Amino acid sequence: MLRLLIADGNAREDRAQHVTATGRTSAESYADVVHAYHPEAQCRLVSPADADAGLPEGAGLATYDGVIFTGSTLKVAERSPEVMRQRDLMQAALEAGLPVFGSCWGVQLAAVVTGGDAGPNPRGPEYGFARRIAATAEGRDHPLLSGRGAAWDAPAIHSDAVIVPPPGARVLAANALLDVQAIEIPHGDGVFWGTQYHPELDLDELAAMLRVCAEAVVEAGLAPDAGAVSDYAAEIDALHAAADAPLAWRHGLGADVLEPRQRRREIGNFLDRLVARQAG
């Protein structure tokens, strides 16, 4: 039986907004994906941004087979208590020898904790989908990306990203907008696998998050107004409800986004290749 600690990266107010928009927290979304692969898994959901989170320490971390960090609206370069508690947890998990996975905020957090740098992507944000992601030379045979094709799209909502990978990291995937779309970071006795994109997101969640981010999407010059963002989100919602071929064609989306197990492939690979080995 797998035992996982899932750390929700959002502060309390932002978690509440996320629940209003999507119906569940980011940690709950991840737990649902974990259970789709391993129904018997035990997942403890924590909110390390909160001072009263009651996070495991030392030997308490050793009771888990792996840790997952979700996305967040926080900025990893800030040194607020909400951020520093999460940096401490990431470092403790890796130094305890645990396999750790993270998307978006999670990958930025891991990079900064291990000596890299993260901040605004100079090439601009990705809202909706990261397009034409491709494995690097180091990523082509890496187990995190097992089952991915020559190029793929993935749900993505971010303006910040890993700008400088930490020493010893292996950059596994990139696209035209971002040099670090997937990465492996060994640290201490642990290892981090992560993606800047969001393999955990169902399309209805992505649509809801786009509505929440409408102002930022417009400010980035990607849509003329909030109404256009809402219209785009409605079509993504429709694709979640039914794989409509003409609508998928209009958005240029294929099985890598539309089929849940393919969209979530990196999480499945993490669970099967790292966490199950830790548990076994």
Q: Where are the beta strands (DSSP E) in 165-231?
A: 170-174, 182-187, 190-195
**Long-range Cβ pairs for the range 219-223 (8 Å, 24+):** 220/124, 220/125, 220/127, 220/159, 222/125, 222/127
Q: Cα–Cα distance between 91 and 199 in angstroms, integer?
A: 23
Q: Cα–Cα distance between 184 and 191 in angstroms, integer?
A: 7
Cβ atoms of 203 and 256 closer than 8 Å: no
Active site residues: 104, 198, 200
Nearest to 206 by CA among 249, 257, 243, 169: 257
Indicate the DSSP class of residue 177.
S
Q: Cα–Cα distance between 18 and 30 in angstroms, integer?
A: 14
Q: Where are the beta strands (DSSP E) in 8-59?
A: 42-46
